[in-house]
Amino acid sequence: MSTLPISKLWADFTNIFFPDLCIACRNRPPQPSIPICVTCENSLSLTNFHEHEENDLLERFWGRVPIKYGAALFYFQKNSAIQELFHQLKYNNNPKIGVLLGEWYGYELRKSHFMEIDAIIPVPLHPKKLHLRGYNQSDSIAQGLGKALQKPIYTKALVRIENTETQTKKTRMERFDNVKNAFQVNEPNLIKGKHLLIVDDVLTTGATIEACALKLLEIEGVTISIATIAIGQSS
């Protein structure tokens, strides 16, 4: 894994939040240029999807919703550094990790067609869940992406109006049925005619992102691309 242009940001981040420790395992010292140790770095598996016009993420939406570009930074693997980072991001009150991952990914995407996008839309949380967690992890990722790509983030253009039950253990169709009416466009004039990048932490079946995309595509002239930090196995 190459040294990234945001190494100074990572060093500052590590010094503030995880002094002298890898931000994934919190057991071993990080490397000089990135805030994770060699062991955790070796457990990460880059997809390089943004370098290919066809990839596994795009294939999951074929015949379901038109997507222009789609990519994920890592393959999701259990008992890996990325699983631990997601756990800290979602459940340990560490939204800064999302910003960090988003900026990492943003610098990768600057080398690709993703620079064509006009704006970023994070997958929204329902207000009740947002109140309980205190932040939306997809917002955090979008902040990092927006900074690296120098693109605006529309956090209020798409909102979640249904507090749906968990998607865990549901089939792809059950997941889509669970969320198909969960989203609403709040600012149609803002997104009209724009190429929007939907951002989330991890993609499995893609049901939630599909529901977001279909709602956004109801607005005239909208084009959709997708970026997630990780892609898991479809079920």
CATH code of the domain covering residue 61:
3.40.50.2020
Count of domains in the chain?
2
174: part of which helix (H) or strand (E)? Answer: helix 172-179
Chain-centre distance of CA 35, in angstroms? 19
Q: Please indicate, yes or no, whether residues 216 and 121 belong to a single structural domain of this protein.
A: yes
Comparing 233 with 226, which gets the higher pLDDT? Answer: 226
End-to-end CA distance of the chain: 29
Q: DSSP label at 209? A: H
Strand partners, 180: none
Instruction: Kindly state whether residues 124 and 29 are assigned to the same domain.
Output: no
User: How sure is the predictor about 6, in pLDDT bands with cuts at 50, 70 and 90?
Assistant: low
Q: Name which residue leads in pLDDT, 198 or 129.
A: 198
Please, what's the b/e burial string for 189-223 (b: 16 or more CB within 10 A of its CB; e: otherwise)?
eebeebbbbbbbbbbbbbbbbbbbbbbbbebeebb
Shared-domain flag, residues 7 and 62: no
Same domain, 78 and 152: yes
What mean pLDDT comes out for the span 71-88? 89
38 and 135 both lie in a single domain: no
Half-sphere exposure of 41 (CA within 13 A, CB side): 15
Do 126 and 206 fall into the same domain? yes
Kindly state whether residues 8 and 58 are assigned to the same domain.
Answer: no
Structural domain that includes position 9? 1-43
Average pLDDT over residues 199-215: 92
* Alpha carbon distances (Å) from 203 to 39, 57, 103, 210, 224: 25, 8, 18, 11, 16
Do 75 and 113 share a domain, yes or no?
yes
Full-model pTM: 0.86
Quick one: 56 and 39 in the same domain? no
Residue pLDDT, tens place only, 105-152: 999 999 899 999 999 999 998 888 888 888 899 999 999 999 999 999
- What percentage of the chain exceeds 90 in pLDDT? 49
Shared domain for 63 and 10, answered yes or no, is: no
Q: Between residues 87 and 17, which one has the greater pLDDT?
A: 87
**Mean pLDDT of the region 54-76:** 94
* Amino acid of residue 42: N
Identify the residue with better confidence: 40 or 230: 230
Question: Are 218 and 181 contacting, i.e. CB atoms less than 8 angstroms apart?
Answer: no
Task: Mark whether 33 and 142 lie in a shared domain.
Answer: no
163 and 189 both lie in a single domain: yes
The pLDDT mean for the chain works out to 85
Distances (CA, A) of 10 to 52, 117, 125, 154, 199: 28, 26, 27, 25, 21
Q: Is it the case that residue 167 has pLDDT exceeding 50?
A: no
Q: What is the mean pLDDT of residues 54-75?
A: 94
